[in-house]
């Protein structure tokens, strides 16, 4: 166990590059923070022989040393470090808090933070991991106590705005004998995953005005496998569909994979016309994979040859995430 009063602080943060899926070529920067207190040694010899100038200097150093020790008797202020994808390491400091900021989040991007402590003290140490949004609102939090050392996962998905547009990861140590005591080290890994709703390379928006176009207007069969929803911030996906006159559409939406523990979670499906009149709706309960299917025929109007506009709304309710498929079959006039 290390008693850090007085102490010269080692770097509290070590940044290592890592390779992960998401934005490619994004390199992490290294940030080293060093902190030390004033150290003063009196001159050798008879203190009565010091000059007035030397006495003033000695007195100044005495007060500075006293202030430094008083500063370390208080909780340490948080350090904010900009990081990107990859692996990062640092120290768990008693009554100290480190803040890692992840910027430039893309629409619908999912952040995964995998954290693990490596304890150096025998007992009593704790670490609190927290994930906050751009407004410093807490989204996830996990506390681990020595000797717990299993990795934990914190995850969140932004919506199409995107919001959150940035994240803060807080590492807070506690349970030691004095402020500044090194309780152990930590390793964390940041992963960023992009969405690919309807093969668009991004997230389907949450409003009808910005609905994502399903490219299925021509006759044929279309399958989109990588559609994603999350009960965090990305709770809606809205698509718009155009059907030409004398064309019919068979649309099949089906849950493929669920993740989460909320047994009461569910997904709602709604198919609407351009006036937002609900033509059909359905529900898939947590862990179910039964499909939602609708068939639509757009007959040729006498005076109008424009395609008809429809909407598909997908909404998740509960703290879960889901990957779902969309399969569309468009048939032309005969």
For residue 183, report the phi and psi dihedrals to the nearest 5 degrees.
Answer: -90, -20
Side-chain half-sphere exposure of 177, counting CA atoms within 13 A: 8
A 10 A CB-CB count for 264 gives 10
Closest CA to 226 of 253, 189, 196, 200: 196
Q: How far apart are CA 180 and CA 2, in angstroms?
A: 9
Q: What is the pLDDT of residue 91?
A: 95
Q: What is the pLDDT of residue 25?
A: 33
Could you tell me the CA-to-CA distances from 42 to 7, 10, 26, 39, 58 in Å, in that order? 19, 26, 51, 10, 7
Closest CA to 169 of 202, 127, 107: 127
Which residue ranges form the domains of the chain, and what is each CATH number? 8-37+72-193 (2.60.120.380), 197-331 (2.60.120.380)
Q: What is the pLDDT of residue 71?
A: 44
Residues 6+ away with beta carbon under 8 Å from 34: 9, 10, 11
Q: What is the pLDDT tens value at each position of the chain, 334 positions in all?
A: 333 333 333 334 444 443 333 333 333 323 322 322 222 233 334 444 445 555 554 555 455 444 444 444 444 456 689 999 999 999 999 999 999 999 999 999 999 999 999 999 877 899 999 999 999 999 999 999 999 999 999 999 999 999 999 999 999 999 999 999 999 999 999 999 999 999 999 999 999 999 999 999 999 999 999 999 999 999 999 999 999 999 999 999 999 999 998 889 999 999 999 999 999 999 999 999 999 999 999 887 777 788 999 999 999 999 999 999 999 999 987 5
pTM over 0.85: no
Could you tell me the CA-to-CA distances from 108 to 55, 105, 167 in Å, in that order? 64, 8, 14
Q: How far apart are CA 28 and CA 103, in angstroms?
A: 12
């Amino acid at each position: 166990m290390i008693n850090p009063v007085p102490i010269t602080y080692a770097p509290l943060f070590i940044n290592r590059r890592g390779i992960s899926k998401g934005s490619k070529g994004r390199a992490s920067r290294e940030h080293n923070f060093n902190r030390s207190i004033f150290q003063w040694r009196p001159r050798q010899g008879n203190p009565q022989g010091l000059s007035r100038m030397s006495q003033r200097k000695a007195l100044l150093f005495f007060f500075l040393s006293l202030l430094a020790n008083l500063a370390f008797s208080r909780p340490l202020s948080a350090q904010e470090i900009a990081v990107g994808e990859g692996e990062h390491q640092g120290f768990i400091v008693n009554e100290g808090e480190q803040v890692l900021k992840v910027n430039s989040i893309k629409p619908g991007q999912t952040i995964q933070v995998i954290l693990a402590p490596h304890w150096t003290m025998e007992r009593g140490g704790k670490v609190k991991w927290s994930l906050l949004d751009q407004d410093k609102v807490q989204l996830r939090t996990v506390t681990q106590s020595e000797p717990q050392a299993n990795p934990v996962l914190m995850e969140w998905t932004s919506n199409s705005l995107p919001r959150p547009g940035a994240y803060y990861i807080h590492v807070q140590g506690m349970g030691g004998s004095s402020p500044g005591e090194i309780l152990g080290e930590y390793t964390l890994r940041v992963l960023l995953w992009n969405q690919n709703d309807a093969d668009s390379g991004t997230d389907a928006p949450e409003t009808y005005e910005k609905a994502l176009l399903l490219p299925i207007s021509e006759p044929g069969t279309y399958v989109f496998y990588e559609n994603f929803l999350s009960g965090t911030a990305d709770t809606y996906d809205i698509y718009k569909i155009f059907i030409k006159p004398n064309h019919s559409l068979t649309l099949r939406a089906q849950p493929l994979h669920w993740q989460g523990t909320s047994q009461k979670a569910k997904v709602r499906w709604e198919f609407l016309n351009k006036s937002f009149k609900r033509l059909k709706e359905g529900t898939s309960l947590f862990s179910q994979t039964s499909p939602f299917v609708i068939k639509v025929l757009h007959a040729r109007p006498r005076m109008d040859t424009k395609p008809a506009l429809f909407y598909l709304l997908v909404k998740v309710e509960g703290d879960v995430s889901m990957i779902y498929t969309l399969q569309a079959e468009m048939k032309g006039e005969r």
